[in-house]
């Protein structure tokens, strides 16, 4: 689904991800899970985008975002950028605790059953890392869902690719289920950090086909609810 003239939202049943069209090629933000390679090929064909994929940019290390990295990078020669603080998720060494222990079990099982392949990261991202693609994408750490969970902000377009900061559907934005959040106590500050940016819209990886401005409005409402629950207002 085209969102504007140079953002393609590639949808699969479990998760979506994004293809961006820059002046020199295409860039992916995450790579989806089952069915994503076919969905990407179909979406590019439908949009008539024939440029090469130059780079793959990861918001975090959960399998539904990184499952196809090895295959897609192998096919295209694209570089791979990922948050440094999520390196232990990428290599499977992260020690999940609390309710997220179940997430660790599911990740391990899914990687084994689905035949997950490791991949080399070309560039590790830290706070304030800037990728010189698509008018500039700034890495904005939004930890909580994972230790290094990161959004990507394009100041010129006032858009934030917010990964799994929230899921956003018709009934509103909500936090990811508790078992998938490694450091849930960090999420309210990450939502506040996201909303402190100058924004026209946000683009989540789990959500309906609403425009970015609607996802932003839902995120703002969720923050108000969280602030109310925490007694911050
Ligand atoms: Zn996730």
6 closest CA partner among 72, 64, 51? 51
Instruction: Sort strands 7-11 and 16-22 into parallel, antiparallel or unpaired.
Output: antiparallel
User: Distance, CA 60 to ligand 1 centroid (Å)?
Assistant: 7
User: Distance, CA 62 to ligand 1 centroid (Å)?
Assistant: 5
User: Distance, CA 162 to ligand 1 centroid (Å)?
Assistant: 11
User: 113-124: per-residue pLDDT in tens?
Assistant: 999 999 999 999
The tokens 């099982």 sit on which residue? 109
User: 54-97: per-residue pLDDT in tens?
Assistant: 999 999 999 999 999 999 999 999 999 999 999 999 999 999 99
User: Distance, CA 200 to ligand 1 centroid (Å)?
Assistant: 24
User: Distance, CA 42 to ligand 1 centroid (Å)?
Assistant: 24
User: Distance, CA 218 to ligand 1 centroid (Å)?
Assistant: 19
User: Distance, CA 28 to ligand 1 centroid (Å)?
Assistant: 16
pLDDT on residue 1: 83
User: 155-210: per-residue pLDDT in tens?
Assistant: 999 999 999 999 999 999 999 999 999 999 999 999 999 999 999 999 999 999 99
């Amino acid at each position: 689904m085209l969102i504007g003239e140079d953002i393609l939202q590639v949808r699969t049943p479990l998760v979506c991800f994004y293809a961006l069209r820059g002046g020199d090629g295409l860039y992916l933000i995450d790579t989806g899970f089952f069915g994503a390679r076919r969905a990407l090929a179909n979406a590019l064909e439908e949009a008539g985008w024939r440029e090469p994929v130059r780079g793959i940019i990861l918001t975090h290390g959960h399998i539904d975002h990184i499952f196809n990295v090895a295959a897609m990078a192998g096919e295209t020669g694209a570089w791979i950028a990922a948050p440094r603080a999520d390196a232990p998720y990428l290599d499977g060494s992260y020690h999940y605790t609390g309710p997220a222990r179940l997430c660790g079990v599911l990740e391990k099982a899914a990687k084994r059953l689905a035949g997950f392949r490791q991949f080399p990261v070309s560039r590790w991202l830290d706070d304030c890392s800037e990728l010189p693609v698509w008018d500039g994408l700034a890495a904005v750490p939004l930890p909580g869902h994972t230790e290094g969970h990161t959004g990507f902000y394009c100041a010129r377009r006032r858009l934030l690719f917010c990964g799994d900061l929230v899921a956003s559907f018709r009934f509103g934005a909500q936090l990811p289920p508790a078992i998938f959040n490694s450091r849930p106590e960090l999420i309210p500050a990450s939502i506040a950090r996201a909303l402190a940016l100058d924004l026209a819209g946000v683009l989540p990886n789990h959500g309906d086909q609403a425009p970015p401005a609607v996802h932003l409005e839902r995120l703002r409402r969720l923050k108000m609810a969280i602030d109310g629950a925490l007694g911050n207002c």
